[in-house]
């Protein structure tokens, strides 16, 4: 696997504090959080293309999002060493740490990411039981 990573985090990167709140393009909040937690490949939004395949990412043709890796590190997520993908992501995580190009205060942790991109969702702002009660359901 020949993964490559962005040289820097762009200001529109969804893992940056300067990104537009709630904007994740074609992705869902849960999908992005799941990809990070499970160590899946997540490409840079600036390099995505129509009909992109996982092979495009695995070959290094489409780079991994640097913000995705930096956010995982800030959140204490260590990628799994037991899989080929996990080992490759761990290598990128170590590279980002060694290069130390990012100001950690501009990177969203997993919890900050969820608030930044999901805080506008009623289900995230109000506990589910309370929301159901407000909608007239008996709980």
Residue 14 lies in a domain: no
pLDDT tens digits along 69-123: 999 999 999 988 788 999 999 999 999 999 999 999 999 999 999 999 986 555 5
Residue 22 lies in a domain: no
Residue 9 lies in a domain: no
Mapped onto helix, strand or coil, the DSSP state of residue 77 is coil
- State residue 40's pLDDT score: 93
Residue 6 lies in a domain: no
Instruction: Give me the number of domains the chain comprises.
Output: 1
Res. 26 pLDDT band, cuts 50 70 90:
confident
Residue 83 lies in a domain: yes
Q: How far apart are the first and last CA of the chain?
A: 50
Domain of residue 128, residue span: 29-134
Residue 104 lies in a domain: yes
109 vs 69: CA distance, rounded Å = 10
Res. 134 pLDDT band, cuts 50 70 90:
low
Cα→Cα distances 46→43, 64, 74, 133, Å: 9, 10, 22, 42
> Given its phi and psi angles, is residue 48 left (phi above 0), alpha (psi -120 to 50 degrees) or beta?
beta
Longest alpha-carbon distance in the chain: 54
pLDDT tens digits along 31-74: 999 999 999 999 998 877 778 888 989 999 999 999 999 999 99
Residue 55 lies in a domain: yes
This prediction's pTM: 0.81
């Amino acid at each position: 696997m020949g993964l490559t990573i962005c040289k820097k985090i762009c200001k529109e990167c969804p893992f940056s504090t300067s990104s537009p709140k709630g904007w994740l393009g074609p992705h869902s909040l849960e999908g992005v959080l799941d990809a990070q937690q499970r160590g899946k490949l997540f490409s840079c939004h600036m390099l995505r293309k129509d009909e992109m395949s996982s092979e495009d990412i695995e070959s290094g043709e489409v780079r991994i999002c640097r913000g995705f890796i930096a956010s995982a590190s800030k959140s204490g997520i260590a990628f799994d060493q037991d899989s080929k993908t996990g080992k490759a992501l761990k290598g990128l995580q170590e590279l980002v740490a060694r290069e130390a190009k990012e100001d950690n205060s501009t990177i969203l942790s997993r919890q900050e990411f969820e608030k930044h991109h999901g805080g506008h969702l009623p289900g995230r702002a109000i506990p589910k039981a309370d929301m159901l009660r407000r909608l007239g359901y008996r709980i």
